[in-house]
Chain A
């Protein structure tokens, strides 16, 4: 079923789901929505499964013409959606008619917004996922960002009988200044005490080199004991690498799967989504937590998702 025709692609719009798991050992990154929380909510608002594919839009949204009647939802960074020039709200179920044009304003907060379609976006399943892996050239629409003229296909599903709204208290606020929690290690012992102190007490600025692969940060140099290089080992979204120049790089979802710089810490799962909404010039501070605290946060996060599943569409 044809859902949208792409009139303008936006800055960087890709098909994503929650990611491609089990293939890191073959050099294939996880990919998937950078802010998985907003992504899941977009799906719940149209009665989809959490993992159904949708569109991830970056900073500048696309312009899409509806090719059929559909129910959609828009979540994530504040992006002022419009249907035929009429402002429509985010974080709730919307109905769109054939020929309607969906467009977006400037993204005022956050970095990525999500568009879900009732039934989910239909692209071929590649290694268990529909997520676009641009460098590998597969997943999503031909392994690339969407471009003008593309037709976005959907699976289609019977319309929801009710429209849903995300309760305001659960809508995340995206700040220009974020604190992300980390668990130190695995190579924390390669840094001096002063280096560790610098890492945990400084404000780091997101540079222009910040994308789905990783975030290069700028700020006070983190001191290594002797060297910055390790025998290359596995990377995972949230890993904080510190190369010789002392400036941290946070690995994100499309990153290479192995790397040779010492990892000072790993961002906790619940906060990787928060970082996925950071944009150049935002400030990031790292806060150390214990494994136990991180797990508590993860349980809280799961509970929140479960309660949202109960409140939102269940059809």
Chain B
């Protein structure tokens, strides 16, 4: 495992106005931390021509204005930053966020399936899902959708073969070892095990999402009554 850190980042062209910096091809906190650190460093440095940064599991997309810079110039700037990053061992602050969830029933129509598939009781699935702390690896798919990882193998479950056309806002799902929350209604194939009354996205917030990459998330089981109170309280 040690030598994985020595895999050099790959610099790849992404059309005529973006650069992709890829740190390996795995989902793990170390790789993701490199992405987040480079993201923050570029934000601080303000490189000429850089317009937008999109951090994901293991890569950073850098969108630039080709009228202000060019691919080669940008690559050399970013490489310099990446090198200082390697030496600096940048630690970035992360926040702890608790997401209340009512599990099962109409709120989590796939809880039963996940339990059955793994020969567990529903209660055990809830316990396993809510006892861990998850890392927000990235926000993607639809507005404010957090990709969280990783659930234990004991409840890791593949996606539905045929995705649902509508998954309600607030639904908490599992896809293989990932878990996530649908911030708005969307089509989707994740196994839905519960629902949160918490709002994860609001276009009038700045920034518009509750979570950001690098944050630590825990799910807290709540009752249907608590759920209704919390929904009413918003």
A234-268: CB near B (< 8 Å → 1, else 0) gives 10101100000000000000001110000100111
Q: Is A155 an interface residue (CB 8 A)?
A: no
Q: Which residues of A contact B71 (CB under 8 A)?
A: 291
Partner of A28 from B20, B56, B67, B143 at Cβ < 8 Å: B143
Q: Is A172 an interface residue (CB 8 A)?
A: no
Could you tell me how many residues of chain B have their Cβ less than 8 Å away from some Cβ of chain A?
A: 45
Interface of A is mostly: mixed
Q: Which residues 192-217 of A sit at the B interface, judged by CB distance below 8 A?
A: none
Instruction: Give A29 Cβ to nearest chain B Cβ, in Å.
Output: 8
- Are A185 and B12 in touch, CB under 8 angstroms? yes
Bound-complex Cα distance A302 to B17 (A): 14
Of chain A, the residue at the smallest CB distance from B139 is: A27
Could you tell me how many residues of chain A have their Cβ less than 8 Å away from some Cβ of chain B?
A: 42
Q: Is A310 an interface residue (CB 8 A)?
A: no
Q: Is B147 an interface residue (CB 8 A)?
A: yes
Q: Is B230 an interface residue (CB 8 A)?
A: no
Q: Which residues 132-149 of B sit at the A interface, judged by CB distance below 8 A?
A: 138-145, 147
Partner of B16 from A133, A137, A233, A269 at Cβ < 8 Å: A269
Total contacts A-B at CB 8 Å: 132
Q: Is B222 an interface residue (CB 8 A)?
A: no
Q: Is B209 an interface residue (CB 8 A)?
A: yes
Q: Which residues 193-219 of B sit at the A interface, judged by CB distance below 8 A?
A: 201, 203-204, 207-209
Q: Is A161 an interface residue (CB 8 A)?
A: no
Of chain B, the residue at the smallest CB distance from A257 is: B140
Instruction: Give B208 Cβ to nearest chain A Cβ, in Å.
Output: 5
- Are B15 and A26 in touch, CB under 8 angstroms? no
Partner of A183 from B13, B144, B201 at Cβ < 8 Å: B13
Instruction: Give B184 Cβ to nearest chain A Cβ, in Å.
Output: 6
Instruction: Give A288 Cβ to nearest chain B Cβ, in Å.
Output: 12
Q: Is A98 an interface residue (CB 8 A)?
A: no
- Are B144 and A27 in touch, CB under 8 angstroms? yes
Q: Is A135 an interface residue (CB 8 A)?
A: yes
Partner of A127 from B54, B59, B138, B203 at Cβ < 8 Å: B203
Bound-complex Cα distance A271 to B17 (A): 13
- Are A232 and B54 in touch, CB under 8 angstroms? no
Bound-complex Cα distance A298 to B186 (A): 35
Q: Which residues 14-30 of B sit at the A interface, judged by CB distance below 8 A?
A: 14-18, 20, 22, 25-27
Q: Which residues of A contact B52 (CB under 8 A)?
A: 21-22, 24-25
Partner of B17 from A138, A232, A234, A269 at Cβ < 8 Å: A269
Q: Is B99 an interface residue (CB 8 A)?
A: no
Instruction: Give A258 Cβ to nearest chain B Cβ, in Å.
Output: 3
Tell whether A256 pairs with B140 under 8 Å between CB atoms, given A21-B52, A295-B70. Answer: yes
Tell whether A233 pairs with B59 under 8 Å between CB atoms, given A26-B139, A291-B16. Answer: yes
Bound-complex Cα distance A28 to B143 (A): 5
Q: Is A136 an interface residue (CB 8 A)?
A: yes
- Are A267 and B15 in touch, CB under 8 angstroms? yes
- Are B13 and A138 in touch, CB under 8 angstroms? no
Bound-complex Cα distance A137 to B184 (A): 9
Bound-complex Cα distance A256 to B163 (A): 15
Q: Which residues of B contact A232 (CB under 8 A)?
A: 56-57, 138, 140, 147
- Are B25 and A231 in touch, CB under 8 angstroms? yes
Tell whether A258 pairs with B56 under 8 Å between CB atoms, given A183-B16, A186-B14, A269-B16. Answer: yes
Of chain B, the residue at the smallest CB distance from A26 is: B209
Partner of A257 from B54, B57, B59 at Cβ < 8 Å: B54
- Are A236 and B141 in touch, CB under 8 angstroms? no
Bound-complex Cα distance A234 to B184 (A): 20
Bound-complex Cα distance A232 to B147 (A): 10
Q: Which residues 11-29 of A sit at the B interface, judged by CB distance below 8 A?
A: 21-28
Of chain A, the residue at the smallest CB distance from B207 is: A26
| A–B pairs, 13, beta carbons within 8 Å | A22-B52, A27-B209, A135-B184, A185-B12, A233-B57, A238-B15, A239-B14, A239-B15, A256-B141, A266-B18, A291-B13, A291-B71, A302-B67
Known: A136-B142, A269-B16, A294-B15. 15 other contacts (CB 8 A): A21-B52, A26-B207, A135-B184, A185-B13, A185-B14, A186-B14, A231-B26, A231-B58, A233-B57, A239-B15, A256-B142, A268-B16, A294-B16, A295-B16, A295-B66
Report which A residues bind B (CB closer than 8 A).
21-28, 126-127, 133, 135-138, 183, 185-187, 230-234, 236, 238-239, 256-258, 263, 266-269, 291, 294-295, 297-299, 302
